[in-house]
Structure 1
Amino acid sequence: MPATRIMVEPGVELVVVGDELLTGRSGDTSSEILGRRLAAAGLPVARRTVIGDSAVMIAETLEQAVGRSRLVFVVGGLGSTPADRTVTAVAELLGRKTVLHPPTLRRIEKSFRQGGRRVPALARQQARVVPGARLFPNPVGFAPACLVERQGTVIVLLPGIPAELDVLFTVVEPFLRARFVKVPASRVQVRTTGESESVLAGRVERALRRHSSVATTYYPSTTGVDIVLSAPSALELEDALGLVRKAVDSRVYEVGERDIAEVVGELLATRRLTLATAESCTAGLVAARITDVPGSSGYFRGGVIAYSNSAKTALIEVGKPALDRHGAVSRAVAQQMASGVAGRFGADVGLSVTGIAGPGGATPDKPVGLVFTAAAVRGRLTCERLMLGGKRRAIREQAVAAVLDLCRRALESDR
C-alpha cells in the first residue's frame, strides 16, 4: 500500500476570493478540489476563509494568514475583469508593483489573433504578475500560478476556475511536497455509496475499536461518504482497511480516488461489455456521468430519456399492461425499461431509473423520493426500490449514484 507523507507543522490555509461566493451565485467547487488534492498530498487544510473581491480585504486577510500559517493559497481573482484584484493586492502587500509577464502576454495575444479578434485591454491583465515570484505556466488557461514568500510563509496564487486550478495544482504539487512534507504516514480513501454517514461511522468505529492509532475522517456528500483512514505504518493501515471493508461490506465501491462512473467503466471495458441506459426522472444524468469518463465510447452504446409513458412504450418496448397495472414508477416498469433499452441498442447491459423526484407527482402510495433502479446484465435482471431524501436535485443525484452502484454490483456478481 503506498505511503504518503504529512506536513510537520500545522498551517495550510485557503483564502478564497469572489463576491459570487458570498452572494450564493456560485458554489465553492475550487475549495473542494483543492482541499481534496492537498489532503492526498499530505498537506491537510486547517482553515478556509471566503472573502469578496476587495484589494484591501485580500491584503488584510493575507496579513493575518501569514502570521499563523506556513502555506497559504489564494484562490480566485486572477481573471480579466475589474473585480479581479488578487495579483495587485498581493504585490502591494509585498511592497511591489505588478509587471507584465511577456510569455503569458504572447499566449493571450496569439489566442485572440487565432480567433480573429482584437485583444481587449482587460485581457492583458491576466499577464500581470508579482515581480520576483516563481511562476508556473497554465496549460489550460492564461493566468499562471504564482508563488511568493513573506516572513517565511509561502503564498500560492491559483485561478478560481476549477478545471484550471486542478491542472495547475498538479504542476505546483512537486514543489510543495519537497518543501513542506516531512513525516512519513500511510493513508487510504474508502469510497462508499448507499448508506448514511452515521450508520457507516458506527460500523467503522466498532471495527477499529482496538486500533487506537488509526485515525478516521468522514467526508459525506449527497451521493455517498468517503472514509479516509490514516495510520503510522502501512502494515497497520492494511489491517485497518481489511476490518473496515468487512464492516462496510458491499457499500464500498472504491479504495482510492476513482468515482463510481470510472469504476463501472473499467468493469465494462475489462469484460468487453457494452451498456445502454433508459432514464425517466434523471432525464439523461446517468448517461452524462458515464460519458464524463474518457474512453466511454468504447463501451457506451447510447441512452433513451423516456420521460412520458408513450416514450416508454414506443422507444424501449415497455408494455402498456405493466404501465396500466403498476404505474410508471414501479419495479415491473423499471425492469422492462432495462431489458428494453439493452435490446434496442444491442447492449450487454441495460440500466434504468424511474421515480418521483418531486415536488409534485406524488400519491399516498408513491411519495416523493420513491425510485426504482434496474440492471439487465446479459439478460439477468436486478432491481431495487429506494426511498431517497432531499429536494428534486438531491433525489436525482442520489438516483444516478444508486443505479451506477447497482450496475457495479451486478457486474461483479456476473461471472
Structure 2
Amino acid sequence: MIILEFKAKGKESQYSAIAEAIRTVKFIRNSCIRLWLDNKGTGKSDLSRYSKILAKEFSFANELNSTARQAASERAWSSIVRFYDNCKKKVPGKKGFPKFQKCARSVEYKKSGWKLSPDKKSITFTDKKGIGKLKLKGTWDLWRFDKKQINRVRIVKRADGYYVQFCVAVNEKEEIDSTGKTIGLDVGLKEFYTDSDGNSEPNPRFYRKNEKRLKFYQRRVSRKKKGSSNRRKAVNRLGRQHLKISRQREEHAKRLARCVIRSNDLVAYEDLRIKNLVKNHCLAKSINDAGWYQFRKWLEHFGTKFGRITVAVNPAYTSQNCFDCGEVVKKSLSTRTHACKCGCELDRDHNAALNIRTRALSTVGHTGTRILDPNALGDLSSTFPDSGLVEQDRSLIKESPSISGRGVSISKGFF
C-alpha cells in the first residue's frame, strides 16, 4: 500500500467548499464522541448508524458524501479503541482519552464521492458540497494504477494549500542483492548517527538554523490584532515556515534510511522512547529537531520493502558498557570518549553502536522490528511504534519525490 499526494489547484469558491466539508467532518466526529460519552456500551456500528441520523437532522451533513460521513465516525471510533487499548496495556501516563476536535484539517472519501478524469490529471468530487473539479499537480503517474486499486481519497489542508492523497493498494517489495554486512546505529545530538564501523553522519539541525526566521514571523503574528485578516496572513506565513522545516527533516531521514538499508543486510538501532526523552526540558528542542522517530520509521519501511532485517534493541547501558570486555564504565553526557581499563579507547557513540550491533546479533533476526532485552536470547515479540487502530494505515507511509514547485510532499499517514 502506498500513498500518492498531489497539490490541488482550484478556485477560491472550491477552497471554501473544502473548508466547509472539513468542518462537517469535525461536527460528525465530535457528535459521535458525545454519543459515546452519554451512552455506555456504544459500539462502532452505533456510531455508523448515528452518522446517518445526523445526515437526516442536519442539511449540511446530508450534503457530505455518505462514505465521508462513515470515515468521520470511524475516526471517532479509532480514538475510542486507542484509549481502550492503552488502558488494557496499562500504558504509563495519559491514556489518550477521546477529546472533541477543535481544528480539523482533512476530509476522507472511500470508493464513492469522487471521479478521476480520463487522463487522471484532475479529480471531481461529486457530493453536494460543491467542491467540483480540482487539478492535480505532482510528479506521480496515476495512470499506472487502476481505479479499483485506489481504496480511499483524502483532501488535506496545509499551510501552503490543499493536497489530495490517494491510498493505492500495490505490492512494492523489491529484491536487491545481499551485501553480507551488518551494522549498528547510535543516534545522537552531536552527530545524527554513528555506526559500528566508526562512520558518522552530521546532524543538520534544521530547526536551529531556521529559528531566527521563525522568531521573526512569530513577532509579526504577535503584533497583529486578533481576528484580523493581517493576523491570519501572518499565522499562515509562520505555518509555511514550520512546514518547510518538517519537510526538510523528513526528506533527510528518508534519504539516510534508504542508503543504510540498501547497504546492509541487518540494521540494528536503539528502541528509544522519544516521549520520555523530551521530558528533559534542556534537551527537548534538540531531540525533536533531530528527528529520530522519522529515521526509525523509514528504516522499518525500507527494511520491509527491500527484505532487510531491522532490529530495535534495548538501549540500556549501550553507552556505559565496554564493547571489548563488557565492563561498566560510567560517564556523563559531556564525556565523549570511552576509555576502559582493559585498554579499549573509542568514541562514546562508536562504542555504543558496537554494543547495539552485538545485542542484535545475539538472537535470530527476522524481517521487521524486534525489541531485544540485553540479558535475554531467542525470539521476542515484534513491536511497531504507534501501533493501534487509529494508526492502522501508518504503514502506508511511502516514498515521495523531493519537495518541488510542483507541490508533491511526504504524507504523514492516511488516517
The normalised TM-score by structure 2 is 0.31
Q: Higher strand proportion, which one? A: 1
Name which one, 1 or 2, has greater alpha-carbon Rg. 1
Of the two structures, which has the highest relative contact order with CA contacts closer than 8 Å and spacing of 6 or more?
2
